C-alpha cells in the first residue's frame, strides 16, 4: 500500500514534532502546546527522529478493511505516529452530510480548522481501527491532542506495551449504528464479538 504524506501548509518543514512541550492547565482533556524555540525534550526529540520510519505496516484484516500493525516492540506511553490529514472547518465537515467521514478526527479548539480529514491526504495512521472496551482487552493506543503554533495535531500514544505484529487500535468513542467487528469481548455491538 502506498503511504500518503500530507504537506503541512501551516508550519515550516522540520518544525514538527516540536523540540519542547508544555501542558496547558485547566483543561479537561490532554492538550499540549509547544513552540519551536522551547528547550529540548527527550521524548519529543526521539519521536521526531522516528516519525518517518518504516516500523508501522498496513495490512488487510478479515472483516475490518485495512489495519495498522507494528514491526517493532512499542513501550507504554511511547509516541508512535502523528495522525496527518487535511485541516478542515466544522462547516466543511458538516457539508459531507455523514458521507466519507470515516477518516475525520476532531482535534478541538482553539484552532481555525478543528478537524483533520485523512480520506485523501494522510499517512499510515489513517488505517487505525476501532476496538471497544478498556483495560488490557481494550484498545492498545489512544490519541493525544496537541496545538502547535495554532495548528491542530493528533499523536498516537501507546496505552500499554505493544508486541511485534500486534495491530494498533484506538477507541473511536462513537455510537455504532452499523455493525462493529472489533473482536473485543467488550464489544458494544451484538455481532462481531471475538471475531478479530
89-114 pLDDT, tens digit per residue, is 888 888 876 666 677 777 766 667 77
Cell 499523536, located at residue:
155
pLDDT of residue 74: 96
Residue 42 has pLDDT above 70, yes or no: no
The Cα 129–Cα 166 span in angstroms is 12
C-alpha grid cell, residue 192: 462481531
CA-only gyration radius of the chain, Å: 17
Residue 194 lies inside a defined structural domain of this protein: no
Q: What pLDDT is stored for residue 168 in this prediction?
A: 97
Task: Measure the CA dihedral 97/102/104/106, to 10°.
Answer: 90
pTM listed for this prediction: 0.70
Q: Of 55-64, 118-127, 169-178, 180-189, which gets the smallest average pLDDT?
A: 169-178
Asked whether residue 151 is assigned to any structural domain, the reply reads: yes
Cα–Cα distance between 194 and 105 in angstroms, integer? 26
d(C-alpha 120, C-alpha 101), whole Å: 11
Which of 185, 131, 141, 144 is CA-nearest to residue 161? Answer: 141
Contact 153, 100 (CB under 8 A): no
Neighbours of 176 (CB within 10 A): 15
Residue 185 has pLDDT above 90, yes or no: no
Asked whether the predicted pLDDT for residue 52 surpasses 60, the reply is: no
Has residue 84 got a pLDDT over 60?
A: yes
**Residue 139 within a domain:** yes
Question: How many domains are there within the chain?
Answer: 1
For residues 3-10, give the mean pLDDT: 34
- The residue among 79 and 43 whose pLDDT is bigger is 79
pLDDT digits (tens, 9 = 90+) for 109-141: 666 777 888 887 888 898 999 998 888 889 999
- Whether residue 178 lies inside any domain: the answer is no
H or E element in which residue 156 lies: strand 151-158
Q: Is residue 150 part of a domain?
A: yes
Considering the domain boundaries, does residue 86 fall inside one? yes
Residue 46 has pLDDT above 60, yes or no: no
Beta partners for residue 79, in sequence order: 157
**DSSP line for 69-92:** EESS-B-TT-EEEEE--EEE-HHH
- pLDDT of res. 64: 83
Indicate the helix (H) or strand (E) that contains 60: strand 56-60
Structural domain for 122, as ranges: 22-170
Between 136 and 73, where is the model more confident? 73
DSSP 32: E
- Cβ neighbours of residue 65 closer than 8 Å, sequence gap 6 or more: 129
Query: Where does the pLDDT of residue 191 fall: very low under 50, low under 70, confident under 90, or very high at 90 and above?
Result: low
pLDDT for residue 69? 96
Assess if residue 106 is contained within a domain.
Answer: yes
Does residue 29 belong to any structural domain of this protein? Answer: yes
Better-predicted residue by pLDDT, 74 or 177: 74
In this predicted structure, the answer to whether residue 8 has a pLDDT above a threshold of 80 is no
- CATH number assigned to the domain comprising residue 51: 2.170.270.10
Amino acid at each position: 500500500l502506498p503511504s500518503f504524506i500530507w504537506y503541512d501548509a501551516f508550519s515550516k518543514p522540520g518544525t514538527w514534532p516540536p523540540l519542547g512541550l508544555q501542558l496547558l492547565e485547566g483543561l479537561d482533556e490532554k492538550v499540549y502546546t509547544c513552540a519551536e524555540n522551547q528547550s529540548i525534550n527527550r521524548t519529543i526529540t526521539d519521536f521526531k527522529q522516528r516519525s518517518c520510519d518504516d516500523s508501522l505496516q498496513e495490512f488487510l484484516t478479515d472483516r475490518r478493511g485495512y489495519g495498522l500493525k507494528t514491526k517493532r516492540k512499542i513501550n507504554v506511553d511511547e509516541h508512535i505516529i502523528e495522525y496527518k490529514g487535511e485541516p478542515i472547518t466544522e462547516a466543511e465537515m458538516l457539508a459531507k452530510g455523514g458521507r466519507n467521514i470515516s477518516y475525520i478526527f476532531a482535534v478541538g479548539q482553539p484552532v481555525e480548522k478543528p478537524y483533520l480529514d485523512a480520506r485523501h491526504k494522510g499517512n499510515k495512521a489513517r488505517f487505525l481501527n476501532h476496538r471497544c472496551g478498556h483495560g488490557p482487552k481494550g484498545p492498545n493506543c489512544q490519541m493525544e491532542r496537541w496545538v502547535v503554533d495554532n495548528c491542530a495535531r493528533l499523536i498516537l500514544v501507546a496505552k500499554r506495551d505493544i508486541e511485534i505484529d500486534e495491530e494498533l487500535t484506538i477507541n473511536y468513542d462513537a455510537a455504532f449504528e452499523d455493525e462493529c467487528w472489533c473482536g473485543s469481548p467488550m464489544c458494544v455491538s451484538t455481532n462481531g464479538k471475538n471475531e478479530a
